[in-house]
């Protein structure tokens, strides 16, 4: 976006206005790009990487401002190499000499009739972008692609304002924002079962998977915690960092399944709210996310203890064991809660399946 002139002639970053909570078109003025990094003490230069961790540009740090969230830096940008060619390069701002007269900036899933020029956001999912662009082109619409800027600090109305501003600078003279639903029913789904060790989440997840495969047409993939540990996350331990990496890997694979219209059913312990939130964010970029809390009480899980893990944890043989020496953060945002009152596996599975098949208003399956 910098190189296409969306932020003006100068290819550089500037500091946000002093005291500004967010960096938006209103708080900074037109054609101003900002960059915030996590490092509280950056050096004289900052290297920018692409998604494959390849250096593509360097920022000369001529000014900076540190906040609790990181450091804003300002300075000219020098390209080190050409970035990888993105999907649909012929539809991006740098490919057009003139702006379209009028355009609709599509945010969210398409809804209603569209005409003329439609600007589609590139959210980083090539499959979803391709599906949207091809669908609009089949309807005879002129499509342009606007990459979403990496501005996680800009949210809500400020984010819409920023995107509308960039679309107006890079794509069309007049832009109207159309907000569709975040995701239409029938798209890919990630279902995360979370609960203590021995809560029954894996057993319930397997039963839900069997029923969904038998009763629906959507492809369902089961990513069980123990199996993922053995195959995808072999070599990881049980420190917080390793647990977070394990769940992150599960979330990434599950999101890929969802991005192709499938349903991924996952059953790790996922004890921390932050890792569940990260998995939700990944999933919702590709489809929908359903959190199922298998709330079997600790005393019941410990009484079952088929693997003898609780006994070893009580004896100090297993460190950082969830529920004993390491916390389990009870979900406050669960879509479905089962297992708290001694329900059977079949009863728990039936509740989840009813939610997913719209009997309880979920309408998630095809």
CATH of the domain at 350: 3.40.50.300
H helix and E strand count, the chain: 10, 15
Give yes or no: residues 74 and 36 share one domain: yes
Give yes or no: residues 202 and 296 share one domain: yes
Query: Helix H segments across 7-103?
Result: 25-28
Counting residues of the chain whose pLDDT is more than 90, the rounded percentage is 40
Counting residues of the chain whose pLDDT is more than 70, the rounded percentage is 89
In a domain, 313, yes or no: yes
Give yes or no: residues 280 and 335 share one domain: yes
pLDDT over 50 (residue 66) = yes
Range among 249-253, 292-296, 355-359 rated most confident: 292-296
CB 243 within 8 A of CB 237: no
Give yes or no: residues 344 and 210 share one domain: yes
pLDDT over 90 (residue 192) = yes
Give yes or no: residues 206 and 351 share one domain: yes
| CA separation for the pair 25, 212 (Å, rounded) | 47
What is the model's pLDDT at position 24?
A: 43
Give yes or no: residues 16 and 158 share one domain: no
| CA separation for the pair 30, 25 (Å, rounded) | 6
CB 339 within 8 A of CB 200: yes
Give yes or no: residues 146 and 219 share one domain: no
Q: Chain centroid to CA 55: how far?
A: 24
Give yes or no: residues 231 and 352 share one domain: yes
Binding residue numbers for ATP: 195-202
pLDDT digits (tens, 9 = 90+) for 240-287: 888 888 889 999 999 999 988 899 999 999 999 999 999 998 888 778
Instruction: Choose between 276 and 109: higher pLDDT.
Output: 276
Per the structure, how many domains does the chain have? 3
In a domain, 1, yes or no: no
pLDDT over 70 (residue 290) = yes
3-state helix, strand, coil in the chain (%, to 5): 35, 25, 45
In a domain, 144, yes or no: yes
C-alpha pair distances (Å), 42 with each of 26, 48, 147: 28, 13, 27
Give yes or no: residues 253 and 282 share one domain: yes
* Token representation of residue 6: 């969306």
In a domain, 361, yes or no: no
pLDDT over 80 (residue 202) = yes
pLDDT digits (tens, 9 = 90+) for 310-331: 988 898 888 888 889 889 999 9
* Token representation of residue 205: 């997840």
What is the model's pLDDT at position 22?
A: 45
Q: In what order do the strands lie in the sheet with 220-224?
A: 220-224, 263-267, 189-194, 288-294, 336-338
Binding residue numbers: 195-202
* pTM of the predicted model as reported, rounded to 2 decimal places: 0.56
Among the three residues 133, 158, 179, which one is the final residue of a domain in this structure? 179
Question: Would you place residue 225 in the very low, low, confident or very high pLDDT band (cuts 50, 70, 90)?
Answer: low
Phi and psi based region of residue 342 (left: phi greater than 0; alpha: psi -120 to 50; beta: remaining): left
Give yes or no: residues 75 and 100 share one domain: no
Give yes or no: residues 174 and 205 share one domain: no
In a domain, 5, yes or no: no
What is the model's pLDDT at position 47?
A: 94
Give yes or no: residues 171 and 206 share one domain: no
Question: Would you place residue 235 in the very low, low, confident or very high pLDDT band (cuts 50, 70, 90)?
Answer: confident
Question: Could you give the angle at the alpha carbon of 225 between the alpha carbons of 283 and 302, nearest 5°?
Answer: 125
Among the three residues 160, 179, 198, which one is the final residue of a domain in this structure? 179
pLDDT over 80 (residue 109) = no
Domain encompassing residue 105:
89-179
């Amino acid at each position: 976006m910098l190189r296409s002139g969306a932020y003006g002639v100068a290819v550089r970053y500037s500091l946000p206005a002093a005291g500004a909570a967010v960096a938006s078109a209103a708080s900074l003025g037109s054609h101003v790009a900002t960059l915030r990094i996590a490092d509280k003490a950056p050096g004289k230069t900052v290297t920018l990487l692409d998604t494959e961790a390849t250096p593509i540009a360097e920022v000369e740090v001529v000014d900076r401002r540190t906040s609790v969230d990181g450091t804003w830096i300002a300075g000219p940008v020098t390209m080190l190499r050409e970035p990888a060619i993105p999907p649909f390069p012929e539809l991006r701002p740098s490919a057009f000499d003139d702006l379209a007269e009028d355009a609709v900036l599509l945010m969210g899933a398409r809804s209603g009739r569209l005409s003329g020029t439609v600007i589609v956001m590139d959210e980083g999912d090539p499959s979803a972008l391709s599906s949207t662009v091809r669908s609009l082109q089949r309807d005879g619409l002129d499509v342009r692609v606007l990459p979403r800027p990496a501005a996680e600090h800009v949210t809500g109305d400020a984010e819409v304002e920023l995107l509308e501003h960039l679309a107006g600078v890079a794509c069309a003279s007049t832009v109207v924002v159309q907000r569709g639903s975040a995701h239409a029913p029938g798209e890919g789904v990630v279902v995360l079962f979370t609960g203590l060790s021995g809560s029954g989440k894996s057993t319930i997840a397997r039963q839900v998977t069997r029923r969904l495969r038998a009763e629906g047409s959507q492809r369902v993939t089961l990513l069980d915690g123990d199996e993922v540990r053995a195959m995808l996350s072999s070599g990881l331990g049980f420190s917080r960092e390793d647990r977070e990496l394990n769940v992150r890997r599960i979330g990434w694979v599950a999101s890929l399944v969802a991005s192709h219209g499938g349903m991924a059913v996952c059953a790790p312990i996922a004890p921390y709210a932050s890792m569940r939130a990260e998995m939700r964010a990944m999933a919702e970029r590709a489809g929908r996310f359903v959190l199922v809390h298998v709330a079997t009480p600790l005393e019941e899980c410990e009484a079952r203890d088929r693997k003898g893990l609780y006994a070893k944890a009580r004896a100090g043989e297993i460190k950082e064991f969830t529920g004993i020496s390491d916390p389990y953060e009870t979900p406050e945002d669960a879509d479905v809660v089962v297992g708290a009152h001694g329900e059977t596996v079949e009863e728990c599975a039936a509740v989840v399946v009813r939610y997913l098949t719209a009997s309880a208003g979920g309408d998630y399956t095809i």
